Structure formats: C-alpha cells, structure tokens
Homo-oligomer: A and B are copies of this chain.
Amino acid sequence: MTEEYKYEYFNVSFPAEYVAHVEINRPEKLNAFVEQMWLNLSTIFRRLSPDPSVRSIILTGAGDRAFTAGLDVQAASQGTLGRPSADPARAANSLRRHIHEFQQCVTDVEKCEKPVIAVLHGISFGLALDLSLACDIRLSTTSTRFSVKEVDIGLAADIGTLSRLPKAVGNSSWVKEICLTARIFGGEEAQSVGLVSGVYGDKSEAVQEALKIASVIASKSPVATMGTKELLNYSRDHSVADGLNYTAIWNAAMVQTQDVKDAMLSGLQKRKPTFSKL
C-alpha cells in the first residue's frame, strides 16, 4: 500500500497495523512550506480519511532540526504576496481566494475522519502552529522551539492559528502575548498552558509515544473513535445544547454497530476485540 502514497515533499509509511505516519519531507529547508506542499498535504489527508486500512495518523517533520520553519518566505515573496495589482479590490479578491484555498488545505487535516497526532520537534514556527492546531493531539520535545511567527513578517496569522489557538488553550492572556510578540517558547511552557499534552526528551522518544497512542486508538472500534473526534470538534464550535442534540442523532445511527456488542462482550470476557474495517 505504501507505494500508493508517494509525494515529492511527504513520506507516508505504515509503522503499525492501522497506523499511518505522514512526514513533511523538505529537511534541507527546515521543512518550510511552498505551495505544492499544502496542496499535497490536502491530497494525502483526503485520501487517508476514508482509507479503511487507517485508523490513526502521526504527523512529523523529516530530520532533527525542524517540524517546519513555517512558510517559505522567500518563495512566498515571489508568489501572490509579491504580485503587483492595478486595483486594490481586485488584489484583495485574489488574495482572499488564495487564503481560502490555503486554509482549506489545512482544514482537510481537521476534517480527516481518523485522529491525527502531531509531534512538534525542533523549529516549529508559524505554519507549524496553524497545522498542528488542525490535528487532534499535540506532543512536544523539551527542545522544541515554538513561535507564532507571523507578526514578524507584518501580518496577522491567517491559516488557522488565530482561529483555533484560543479554543485549544486555556490561558487567553498567554495566547495574546505569544501571538502579539512572536516570542519563542519551549515544550514545557507549551504543556503548562495546555498547547501540548506531553513533552518528551527528544524527537525519537516523542515519536515513540505518538506511536503508542496511535496504536491504542487503532485498537479501538473505528466507529467509536471517528465519532469521538467528530463530536469533540463539533462541540468546540457549538453550544452544549446543540452538542447534545447532534450527539443523539449521531449515536442513534452509530450505536447500532456490531462493534458495541463485540466490545461489550470482549470487555466482559476480558479479551481483545477485533473490529471490521470502516
């Protein structure tokens, strides 16, 4: 199956049963993103989403130096941001289309039916935040260097950080400080405010832990884990009353699954259940 997922800037492997590993692969440029990369990212996650052989996903950067240094500023300055336009409104509309497309590619990670675990290591600037905030679980190393870098290039972060960070982390004062100053911070600070849920000694340890969590998730009913991801994402953006109502119809469809019977029986018999593909 591995050969089906071949892309210039990404490695996709399958390190364990039902677990996919997506690696950003442009280490010589600190995994900085050019347009082709976010288009590929979107394609990969739109394919992983319904792939019955996949139940959880790990996302990392190739090499030890960076998860990603963010947008490739040099490339970007020669792209849309650098193009002249006679009319401010036409320029604005062209920019708006461009931002929407870019946002959409990152949102495809969030919309992926299978849970995604990001391991943030080394330099994790700008787009590293936008991207990992669209993932479900974030792990870090003690030496990860995080920064919401965008104000340093004269703009408000527009690919997701400013929309998702305030809902991911429970310290709005810290969120504002970090986004307004572009200050670099480390893994322990990230954990203390709630941005990541684990900090490990180095990249290898963190990836090991990610693989462990991914394997646990992959061992559960895929109906249950897909529903859990969807309902938690839904709740973030809706009132509790709306969340409960959506949950009721969701489970009205989903708890009819054979998985519930199998899981309950396995639990009572203290054995490991197996679930058919989703």
B-contacting residues of A (Cβ < 8 Å)?
Answer: 50, 73-74, 77, 81, 86-93, 95-97, 99-100, 103, 107, 115, 136-139, 150-158, 160, 162-177, 179-183, 193-197, 213, 216-217, 220-221, 223-232, 235-264, 267-268, 273, 275-276, 278
Chain B residues, Cβ within 8 Å of A195: 171, 173
Interface majority SS on A: helix, strand, loop or mixed? helix
Chain B residues, Cβ within 8 Å of A223: 89-90, 93, 154-155
Q: Are B224 and A155 in contact (CB under 8 A)?
A: yes
Residue of B nearest to A275 (CB): B154
Copies in the complex: 6
Which 9 residue pairs are nearest across A and B when measured between Cβ atoms?
A170-B170, A163-B243, A171-B194, A89-B257, A156-B227, A154-B263, A253-B253, A237-B239, A88-B256
Bound together, the chains give a CA A251 to CA B171 distance in angstroms of 25
Q: Are B88 and A229 in contact (CB under 8 A)?
A: no
Nearest-Cβ distance from residue A61 to partner chain B, whole angstroms: 18
User: Assuming A151-B224, A176-B136, is B158 touching A248 (CB within 8 A)?
Assistant: yes
